[in-house]
Structure 1
């Protein structure tokens, strides 16, 4: 009893100190509680205005809440006990633990990932997701805080544009922007049962894409794939490239592509009247871009209109695959089989061609994507991540989808072994490699190589006596291997659309009407445009996919047919090396911008187009490299000095160069080469 009375007394004392009971706190929002609270006068409350008995105005309620003990003394609490500190510390600790656990070098990694895989083995992801309208709401809310509030953009978002404007730099030449692969939003224009809910909504880009992928995957795949026979729209489905500057300014909320560049163009006087974004359906082969959408005809008309109205030539600014589109356009517009503009059309209409991060000689990443639907991004997810991805969108499904995209095949490696190396050496080999980059694909049987599955061991590249023995494929044999393991329709598309060789004599250039060679700068010549200038701007200093280690996993007692091989081939993500820091998760990294190898970025700019064989008009080519420098840790896009393949479109120095070129000040720019590209190209005999 004494103990009970003591507790009651303590509760009474606490009530007097806080001026009201705990029950009153929980019901603070009700008018009856507000009118019934009895407060002990304090120094803070003496200045309060008299209250009516039943007053519950917002001002009085706010003052009442501010006078409570637990809020009034919040600022006096130790910093480490405040909610903001605890919440932030919890996130940071969680990220550190997650990173440590998901690192393949962690001894507990395999146990942890296997446990997760088994725990989620029977999970049907689509069945546990909420109704589609809720998912759309969810993605809208999640990405809302990532989407920039244009009305609140700070001056730094318009730099260096504002700085150049203050120095008197202003718009001069009309500008055409040509985006790269996957940069342009694709809208649905179909009216089938599957398409109607998405009419004129983006199946690629914006949060609609995420909703469709998660809840309506088959419908999304049917929209995104092309007819494997024609390379055009499949029956009952129709996607078209979004139009206008917002077609590729942001791929989805928070992820800018051309957005920063457009802001800086605006700072020196550009707008939608003298700046045009030539969006296109990047899935299509270049041949079919004209067949289906008349893309090159529209581009030609747009540039001619600018010439008539502005009395000035156009500056073409392209990024990534957009540079290949521009090169194809130069050949198409002059050819009697294309625009029939004649020999001087480019010289009369194009002031400068700005090539930003163009994969002029292709990239090995396209080969792995088309071969098995894999790349570094997929194999470095870890065991659990790979498992979830395979359950949701398998590598076989990805490969089948990618092979219908004729545009992707335009970036297969060009120039053969002369550029990319043979089985023993490559021009861009560097110290510390356990094996040359030359054999782009290294294929081995999973049988008899179990000792290689320990990520702590170096790779044993010896042959074995199993049914499937190891084989090494260079650029030429790698593309041939892809063709051998592809269906007839894919091979017909490649044959009709692209060529990947190299021309070494003027006689081989006589047939300029072969459209398959127009995307390969080693099999076609630049236009006769001596007054035009070419600016090659690209980054380097990031690990870039250069070579792949594949394993076969053939079924027991069964000899695989060549067409079934792709079902049993995969990048071996357990392949790492303590001696070779560039080998990670079965991917051998070289130098480049994180996506395109340095050889592909720089060879034509620094050597190829200095040869009259490929540049008969001796067009001036200026090459400017940007070494990658990481930005602040919390800047997910790398900061103002990033040289990443996509993020470089927000690079301060590169943006300044582009603005100077468009404003007619490109003559102030000289070559700036700081990478090893000159050493590498000296080993290439072309």
Structure 2
């Protein structure tokens, strides 16, 4: 008998609809039992898919892939089950403990996805584009452990936040100035970023915990968040510098990322230099005449040269550019980058540094564009190294503050901040001469006249009028900004001026920190030519414009561009712990100094709060750009560098202030085109226009002084 032929099962055929990306197939016998219900679900899912962006459709799977005919199981598989041949089925599930760690993060992302869907229903394209811009590099898969969430669903959620193309608006005003006014590149441009702006990559190959992060950014990108949340001790080990040498701990190598990518975005969606780079490109710049001199912002300035030869490389780059193009450079610095550049001006001329001679800056630099530079320091730096606190931590709620303390304590924060020599470059300079005394400060009266009267009465120990005394206030508050640290009643400590605060810091921080500070920086002020002649030659003074004069470059121009009109931390109310904890040894591997682990026994007193007086949870606020107070950004520009003592060559200094205005758009979380926030000012429309005019050689077209604040009035009260 001939063998019985076996009927071959008919091949399944799949058709793909280009508009919906929905996969259709042939139902098997088992699934036909619920075909009607399955069809309804499929239509509902297809309808849902059509409401999503084209590149982020939910792929609906046919019930033939499901063994369970139940509607609930089919719905689960239709959305979440990957292809049978995919790698997802071959991967192990993440440990339960790891799953719980990302529940909160995953919930936030789902909420953001729902918000995006609702926004799309409004058909407001402008808002959608503005919102999606912040997530153009969003990748959920890189933020969670492998196998945590099905890859198909991850891809769909991530794609919701990615814009399809760049809009022309992102290249304005550059595109407009190129087309209408013929702006073209004239001077080569070098950008010097500020603190925490540059990504830091791990190059460690011997340290056990660091090997898995090789060539990944421990600062910047989502890798940083993963390391902080899931591997905190390893992250701290990599980020913390040796307290004795100020360099890398043994076995750890963390280096600044290089190229324009080093500081265009800090993390995906959070731009820093990207708007400037885009607009420079819009008028014709590229990586042949536009550079970003990235550096490891943790290092003290002297160690930038010791470890990385940073200033030697910068000097060679500017010399080579001049030889190739025949044009001097425009140096654009932001935040702490302005102090780094000021140090470079002195280093490159000195025989102790670059040995370029007294005319090097004159021959190689056309302009110094100082954007939000803290030339006289930042009070929040003092608070950070003193007690591990700043306004951002003080304004946390009770629950959030408790969680932060358990996860990353004040001891750990202060220890980490003190190891960063670069941060200490922004300790306020000039002492009581600049920042005021208990009797008063140059920038007192930032708030209303009633506040000034209260401060005067308290300072003179006089009775406050009934109309004012009935208002909510406390005698614990500082009578003046001159009390940089105003101690609360019951603390048994007097108010501290800036000079007093430095003495307190010296007692609390320990020998290693004091040695580092003395070796690298000065915070005083020269008021006579004899004093200036002495301090001008000291490398420790080169980042202090009050003890190191501007270079001999009479043809160079300085442009000071900074924001005003935003509440900025200026001084603090502190309290003292009743149960002082003595210094302890830090038991973490690699820490051998007996100065680490010292627990700060003082803290910002968050119970002191009065909006009328500009006091927010122990932080006294004045005028500035939200980070740097007005005295620091403005004094040298409008007054200090107008004096021959600090500007012997008579370099022209042009100051242009920008008043802070927040965007009315509810989704523009970065403030919009008129923001003057310390970081977001790099996206300010008018600041960008001014910068493009300078680099295109059009700086003579209307770039005159523009002052809106009381900086001239305050400057006359500075005792210099």
Identify the TM-score tier after normalising by the shorter chain.
0.7 to 0.9
1:311-322 equivalence runs, <5 A: 311-322=326-337
Check conservation: 2:375, 2:632, Cα contact below 8 A: yes
Residue 309, structure 1, aligned to residue 324, structure 2: yes
Q: Hey, what does 1:126 align to over in structure 2?
A: none
Q: Which one of the candidate residues 184, 190, 204 is aligned to 2:198?
A: 184
What is the CA–CA distance in structure 1 between the aligned matches of 2:454 and 2:312, rounded to whole Å?
41
Residue 546, structure 1, aligned to residue 551, structure 2: no
Query: In structure 2, do the counterparts of structure 1 residues 593 and 141 end up closer, same or farther at CA, with 3 Å as the change threshold?
Result: farther
Q: Displacement, 1:273?
A: 0.4
Residue 521, structure 1, aligned to residue 545, structure 2: yes
Q: Displacement, 1:306?
A: 0.3
Q: Cα deviations across residues 455-494 of structure 1 (Å, max 9, x unaligned)? A: x952223999998413111111112211111110100000
Q: Displacement, 1:633?
A: 2.4
Q: Hey, what does 1:50 align to over in structure 2?
A: none
What is the CA–CA distance in structure 1 between the aligned matches of 2:504 and 2:223, rounded to whole Å?
37
Check conservation: 2:488, 2:575, Cα contact below 8 A: no
Check conservation: 2:338, 2:375, Cα contact below 8 A: yes
Q: Cα deviations across residues 564-622 of structure 1 (Å, max 9, x unaligned)? A: 98433211112112642x10111011100000000000000000000011000000000
Check conservation: 1:139, 1:207, Cα contact below 8 A: no
Residue 255, structure 1, aligned to residue 270, structure 2: yes
Query: In structure 2, do the counterparts of structure 1 residues 437 and 522 end up closer, same or farther at CA, with 3 Å as the change threshold?
Result: farther
CA RMSD, Structure 1 to Structure 2 (Å)? 3.5
Bigger shift: residues 461-470 or 243-252:
461-470
What is the CA–CA distance in structure 2 between the aligned matches of 1:464 and 1:335, rounded to whole Å?
43
Query: In structure 2, do the counterparts of structure 1 residues 30 and 324 end up closer, same or farther at CA, with 3 Å as the change threshold?
Result: same
Q: Cα deviations across residues 45-99 of structure 1 (Å, max 9, x unaligned)? A: xxxxxxxxxxxxx99x9xxxxxxxxxxxxxxxxxxxxx9899859xxxxxxxxxx
SS of the equivalent of 1:537 reads strand
Q: Which one of the candidate residues 426, 433, 437 is aligned to 1:422?
A: 437
Q: Hey, what does 1:169 align to over in structure 2?
A: 183
Q: Cα deviations across residues 178-235 of structure 1 (Å, max 9, x unaligned)? A: 0000000000001121111000100000000001111111000000000000000100
Q: Hey, what does 1:657 align to over in structure 2?
A: 690
What is the CA–CA distance in structure 1 between the aligned matches of 2:276 and 2:487, rounded to whole Å?
54
Query: In structure 2, do the counterparts of structure 1 residues 529 and 466 end up closer, same or farther at CA, with 3 Å as the change threshold?
Result: closer
Q: Displacement, 1:534?
A: 0.4
The gaps in structure 1 that reach 5 residues or longer are 1-26, 40-57, 62-82, 90-128, 443-455
1:626-645 equivalence runs, <5 A: 626-631=658-663, 632-645=665-678
What is the CA–CA distance in structure 1 between the aligned matches of 2:115 and 2:282, rounded to whole Å?
39
Query: In structure 2, do the counterparts of structure 1 residues 578 and 225 end up closer, same or farther at CA, with 3 Å as the change threshold?
Result: closer
Residue 499, structure 1, aligned to residue 533, structure 2: no
SS of the equivalent of 2:509 reads coil
What is the CA–CA distance in structure 2 between the aligned matches of 1:244 and 1:331, rounded to whole Å?
25
Query: In structure 2, do the counterparts of structure 1 residues 438 and 617 end up closer, same or farther at CA, with 3 Å as the change threshold?
Result: farther
Query: In structure 2, do the counterparts of structure 1 residues 560 and 210 end up closer, same or farther at CA, with 3 Å as the change threshold?
Result: closer
Q: Hey, what does 1:326 align to over in structure 2?
A: 341
Check conservation: 2:564, 2:624, Cα contact below 8 A: yes
Residue 675, structure 1, aligned to residue 709, structure 2: yes
SS of the equivalent of 1:485 reads helix
Taking structure 1 as the reference length, what is the TM-score of the superposition?
0.77
Q: Hey, what does 2:370 align to over in structure 1?
A: 355
What is the CA–CA distance in structure 2 between the aligned matches of 1:517 and 1:135, rounded to whole Å?
54
Residue 469, structure 1, aligned to residue 492, structure 2: yes
Residue 374, structure 1, aligned to residue 389, structure 2: yes
What is the CA–CA distance in structure 2 between the aligned matches of 1:184 and 1:165, rounded to whole Å?
29
Residue 483, structure 1, aligned to residue 506, structure 2: yes
Q: Hey, what does 1:31 align to over in structure 2?
A: 27
Check conservation: 2:488, 2:574, Cα contact below 8 A: no
SS of the equivalent of 2:209 reads coil
SS of the equivalent of 1:152 reads coil
The gaps in structure 2 that reach 5 residues or longer are 1-22, 38-58, 63-112, 120-142, 460-470, 478-485, 585-594
SS of the equivalent of 2:574 reads strand
Check conservation: 1:147, 1:253, Cα contact below 8 A: no
Q: Cα deviations across residues 409-457 of structure 1 (Å, max 9, x unaligned)? A: 0000001111111012111111447589999xx9xxxxxxxxxxxxx95
Check conservation: 1:187, 1:242, Cα contact below 8 A: yes
Residue 589, structure 1, aligned to residue 621, structure 2: yes
SS of the equivalent of 1:538 reads strand
Q: Hey, what does 2:168 align to over in structure 1?
A: 155
Check conservation: 1:324, 1:360, Cα contact below 8 A: yes
Q: Displacement, 1:552?
A: 1.2
Check conservation: 1:641, 1:651, Cα contact below 8 A: yes
Check conservation: 1:424, 1:438, Cα contact below 8 A: no
Check conservation: 1:428, 1:437, Cα contact below 8 A: no
Q: Hey, what does 2:301 align to over in structure 1?
A: 286
What is the CA–CA distance in structure 2 between the aligned matches of 1:551 and 1:221, rounded to whole Å?
28
1:568-647 equivalence runs, <5 A: 568-577=601-610, 579-580=612-613, 582-631=614-663, 632-647=665-680
SS of the equivalent of 1:592 reads coil
Q: Which one of the candidate residues 244, 249, 257 is aligned to 1:234?
A: 249
What is the CA–CA distance in structure 2 between the aligned matches of 1:184 and 1:245, rounded to whole Å?
10
Q: Cα deviations across residues 102-139 of structure 1 (Å, max 9, x unaligned)? A: xxxxxxxxxxxxxxxxxxxxxxxxxxx97477599999
Check conservation: 1:231, 1:288, Cα contact below 8 A: yes
Check conservation: 2:488, 2:573, Cα contact below 8 A: no
